[in-house]
Amino acid sequence: MRTFVALFLSSATFGIAIATIYNLTSHELAGTFLLGIMAAALVFAAGYAIVAERDANLDGDRKDEPMAEAAGEDLGIFTTSSAWPILMALSVLVFLIGAIWVPFLLFTGLAAMLLIVWRLGAESNRTGGRGSI
Judged by CB, which is closer to other proteins: 6, or 111? 6
Count of other CB atoms within 10 angstroms of residue 2 = 10
Q: Give the CA distances from residue 124 to residues 84, 90, 113, 117, in Å, rounded to whole numbers and listed in that order.
A: 12, 21, 17, 11
List of residues contacting other proteins (CB under 8 A):
1, 3-4, 7, 10-11, 14-15, 18, 21-22, 25-26, 28, 30-31, 34-35, 38, 41-42, 58-67, 69-71, 75, 78-86, 88-90, 92-93, 96-97, 99-101, 120, 123, 132-133
Categorise residue 4: left if φ over 0, alpha if ψ from -120 to 50, beta otherwise: alpha
Instruction: State how far the Cα of 63 lies from the Cα of 18, in Å rounded to an integer.
Output: 35
Tell me the closest approach of the beta carbon of residue 35 to other proteins, in angstroms: 7
| CB of 129 vs other proteins, minimal distance in Å | 15
* Minimum distance, C-beta of residue 108 to other proteins, in the bound complex (Å): 16
